[in-house]
A and B are shown apart, each in its own frame.
Chain A
Amino acid sequence: EDQVTQSPEALRLQEGESSSLNCSYTVSGLRGLFWYRQDPGKGPEFLFTLYSAGEEKEKERLKATLTKKESFLHITAPKPEDSATYLCAVHEETSGSRLTFGEGTQLTVNP
Chain B
Amino acid sequence: NAGVTQTPKFQVLKTGQSMTLQCAQDMNHEYMSWYRQDPGMGLRLIHYSVGAGITDQGEVPNGYNVSRSTTEDFPLRLLSAAPSQTSVYFCASSYSSAAQQFFGPGTRLTVL
Contacts and interface: CB of A to CB of B under 8 A. Distances in A.
Interface of A: 31-32, 34, 36, 41-46, 49, 87, 89, 91, 96-99, 101-104
Interface stretch (B14-22, B66-74, B75-83, B97-105): B97-105
Given A43-B106, A89-B43, 10 more contacts: A43-B103, A44-B90, A46-B102, A49-B100, A87-B43, A96-B56, A97-B31, A97-B56, A101-B44, A103-B40
User: What does DSSP make chain A's interface, helix, strand, loop or mixed?
Assistant: strand
Contacts of A36: 103
B48 A97 contact: yes
A104 B42 contact: yes
Interface string B13-44: 00000000000000000010101000011111
B90 A98 contact: no
A42 B100 CA distance: 17
B106 A103 contact: no
B56 A103 contact: no
Nearest to B49: A97
A97 to B, nearest CB: 3
Contacts, number: 55
Nearest to A88: B42
B56 A45 contact: no
Nearest to A104: B42
B45 interface: yes
Given A91-B97, A96-B56, A97-B31, A44 B43 contact: yes
A87 B97 contact: no
B42 A43 contact: no
Nearest to B106: A43
Given A42-B105, A43-B106, A44-B90, A34 B58 contact: no
B106 to A, nearest CB: 5
A34 B97 CA distance: 12
